[in-house]
A and B are shown apart, each in its own frame.
Chain A
Amino acid sequence: MADGDPDLRQTPLVAIHRALGARLIEFGGWLMPVQYGGILEEHRAVRERAGLFDLSHMGELFVDGAGAGDGLAHALISDPRALAIGRAHYSMLCASDGGIVDDLIVYRLAEQSFLVVANAANAAVVSDELADRLAGYAAVLDDRSLDTALVAIQGPRAAAVLSPLTTVSLDALRYYAIGEGTVAGIPALVARTGYTGEDGFEVFIDWNKGEAVWNALAAAGSDAGVMACGLGARDTLRLEAGMPLYGNELDRATNPYEAGLGRTVKLDKPGDFVGRTALEKANRDEPTRRLVGLSVTGRGIARHGHRVLVGDRVSGVVTSGTHSPTLGHAIAMAYIAPSDAEPGTMVAVEIRDQPVAAEVVQLPFYRRQR
C-alpha cells in the first residue's frame, strides 16, 4: 500500500488526513489523500458550499531581482512583465520544440518579485529548467517547494469562511490576484485562484504552519458545511470545469495550440523565448488534432486511453474521462481530428471493445453562476 511507502514525500498535513480517515495514494511522488468520505459528496460540497484541499505537494518557485521579469519572459511562453503587481496569469514552460514541460501559474508579488507554481510531479524539472534559463539574468531562483504549505478553500462559501480569518481584503482581491497578509495570525500569501471552476482561494504559508491554517479554516468552516476534499474530487471538479491536467491533456508531445491554449503564448512579446520558433510554426500550421469535450450519451464511462471513433475511422483518443457528479452522466476530454471537432458532431468512444455514443461539446462542461 502507498501508505507505507517510505520513498514518498509527506505533506505537513498527512497526520490530519489520517485522522480524518482519508485513503492515501501516491501522486507525483507524494503521499496524498484521494478521498475522505466519498468523491461524490466532496465534489458536491465544493459546488454547493466549500471544500478544503491540501496542495502542499505543489512546487513554489520564487524568482526575484531586477532581471526577474525579463528572465521569466525568456523562460516561459507568457509575458510576466505585463502582469500588474498583485496579479497572476496561467502560463507554461515549453521545450525548444514547443512541447509542454509543465503548466504553471505566475503571480507578480512585487515589481521585481514573482512566484511560479508548478505541478508536483514536474516541480523538480521546472526548478532545474528555470535555473538554467534564468542564467545571465539578474534574477535569483529560490525553490521553496519543501518549505511551503498550500491549503486551498474552494466553493461559493469560501470567501465568507476565509474573510474573518485574514487581514487580506477579499472584497478587493479579484480573480487571479494575490495579496500578502495573515491567515489565523500566520503570515500568508492569499491568492484568488483554483482548479475547481468555483470561486476560491489558495493560501501559501510556511511548511510548519500548514496544520494551524488547515485547522483554523476547518473550524471556521464547519458551520458553513466546509468539507475536506481529496484528489479524486479535485479531478472531477477540474474536468467539469474543462481545465487540463498535465500528464493527461498536456505533455511533452503536445503544444499549447493543440490543447486550445494558444492564447497563453505571447508571440508578440519583445525578446526571444525558449520555444519561440517552434511555437510560431505551430501557430501558422493547421493543427493535426484538437482538444474537445465529449458528452457521453450512451451507457458507459469514457476513460483515459479509450479510442474515439467516427464510423469505422479512429479519430483520436480520450485523455480524461469520468462520471460528472454535477451533470449526472459521463464526460470526457479527447484529442480528435480537427475535421471532427465541431460541437454537435456525433462520435463513439470505444469502451471495452464496444462503441458508445458521444457528442462533441463546447468546453467547459460546467460554468458557475456569477
Chain B
Amino acid sequence: MNPTDLRYTKDHEWVRVEGDSATIGITQFATEQLGDIVYVELPAVGSSLQQGAVFGVVESVKAVSDLFAPLSGEVVASNDALSGQPELVNQDPFGTGWMIRVRLADAGEPDALLDAAAYDALSAEA
C-alpha cells in the first residue's frame, strides 16, 4: 500500500531521496488517522532541520500534530499550495500533498529509515 520507492519514519513521515536532496511528506496512514486536514504550518526556505526535531504542524478539525524531521538539512523548498489547500495532504499525501524539500546534511541518514515493507508492518500494527 505504501510506495516502495520511498523511505519512512515511525512518526509516519515519508522521504523521497533524489540526488543530494529529499522531498518530505506524511503518509496516507497518517492522514487517515488525522482526519480532514485544515491547516499546515511549514518552515521557511533556508531554515535548517535537525533529524527528529519538530519542523512544522498539521491540524485537522479536531487535533494538532507536530511534524518531525526525518532527516537533517536545509529547507530548499516548501509546498506553498498547502496554505490555501491543506486538503491536498488528504487527497494526495504522496504527491501534490508533499510538504518540504531538504538538501541533505548527511547522505547516510536516509539509509537508516524504514523501507516500505517495514513501514507497512508498523502501520498495520497501529
Give the B-binding residues of A (Cβ under 8 A). Answer: 34-35, 38-40, 232, 235-236, 299-301, 303, 322-323, 325, 330, 352
CA distance A34 to B83 in the complex (A): 26
CA distance A282 to B75 in the complex (A): 55
Do B36 and A301 touch across chains, with their CB atoms under 8 A apart?
A: no
**Chain B 14-54 near chain A by CB (<8 Å), digits 1 or 0:** 00000000000000000000011011010000000000000
Do B39 and A325 touch across chains, with their CB atoms under 8 A apart?
A: no
Do A39 and B36 touch across chains, with their CB atoms under 8 A apart?
A: yes
Question: A40 and B62 in contact (CB under 8 A), knowing A300-B41, A352-B57?
Answer: no
Do A39 and B59 touch across chains, with their CB atoms under 8 A apart?
A: no
Q: Offer 14 A-B interface pairs, CB within 8 angstroms, sorted by A.
A: A35-B35, A38-B35, A38-B36, A39-B36, A40-B36, A40-B61, A235-B62, A299-B41, A300-B39, A300-B41, A301-B64, A322-B62, A323-B59, A330-B39
Majority secondary structure of chain A interface residues (helix, strand, loop or mixed): mixed
Q: In the complex, what's the smallest C-beta–C-beta distance from B20 to chain A, in angstroms?
A: 31
Task: Choose among A236, A299, A300, A352 the residue that contacts B61 (Cβ–Cβ < 8 A).
Answer: A236
Q: Which chain B positions have C-beta within 8 A of A235? A: 62
> Of all chain B residues, which has the CB nearest A323?
B38
CA distance A236 to B60 in the complex (A): 12
Do B59 and A34 touch across chains, with their CB atoms under 8 A apart?
A: no
Most buried by A among B39, B59, B61: B61
Known: A35-B35, A300-B41. 10 other contacts (CB 8 A): A39-B36, A232-B35, A232-B61, A236-B61, A299-B39, A299-B41, A303-B64, A322-B61, A323-B59, A323-B61
Question: A323 and B39 in contact (CB under 8 A), knowing A232-B62, A301-B59, A352-B57?
Answer: yes
CA distance A299 to B59 in the complex (A): 12
**Lowest 8 CB-CB distances: which A-B pairs, in order?**
A323-B38, A39-B61, A40-B36, A38-B36, A301-B59, A301-B39, A232-B62, A39-B36
Q: Which chain A positions have C-beta within 8 A of B62? A: 34, 39, 232, 235, 322
CA distance A292 to B36 in the complex (A): 27
Q: Which chain B positions have C-beta within 8 A of A40? A: 36, 38, 61
Q: Which chain A positions have C-beta within 8 A of B35? A: 35, 38-39, 232
Q: Which chain A positions have C-beta within 8 A of B38? A: 40, 301, 323
Q: Which chain B positions have C-beta within 8 A of A352? A: 57
CA distance A299 to B38 in the complex (A): 11
CA distance A39 to B62 in the complex (A): 9
CA distance A195 to B24 in the complex (A): 41
Q: In the complex, what's the smallest C-beta–C-beta distance from A34 to chain B, in angstroms?
A: 7
Q: Which chain A positions have C-beta within 8 A of B41? A: 299-300
Q: Which chain A positions have C-beta within 8 A of B60? A: 39
Q: Which chain B positions have C-beta within 8 A of A35? A: 35
CA distance A303 to B63 in the complex (A): 9
Q: Which chain B positions have C-beta within 8 A of A34? A: 62
Q: Which chain B positions have C-beta within 8 A of A301? A: 38-39, 59, 64
Do B83 and A299 touch across chains, with their CB atoms under 8 A apart?
A: yes
Q: Which chain A positions have C-beta within 8 A of B64? A: 301, 303
Q: In the complex, what's the smallest C-beta–C-beta distance from A352 to chain B, in angstroms?
A: 7
> Of all chain B residues, which has the CB nearest A303?
B64
Most buried by B among A34, A40, A303: A40
Q: In the complex, what's the smallest C-beta–C-beta distance from B3 to chain A, in angstroms?
A: 23
Q: Which chain A positions have C-beta within 8 A of B59? A: 301, 323
CA distance A206 to B79 in the complex (A): 53
Q: In the complex, what's the smallest C-beta–C-beta distance from B125 to chain A, in angstroms?
A: 12
Q: In the complex, what's the smallest C-beta–C-beta distance from A14 to chain B, in angstroms?
A: 20
Q: Which chain A positions have C-beta within 8 A of B83? A: 299
Most buried by B among A35, A235, A301: A301
**Chain B 65-106 near chain A by CB (<8 Å), digits 1 or 0:** 000000000000000000100000000000000000000000
> Of all chain A residues, which has the CB nearest B83?
A299
> Of all chain B residues, which has the CB nearest A39?
B61
CA distance A235 to B57 in the complex (A): 22
Q: Which chain B positions have C-beta within 8 A of A300? A: 39, 41
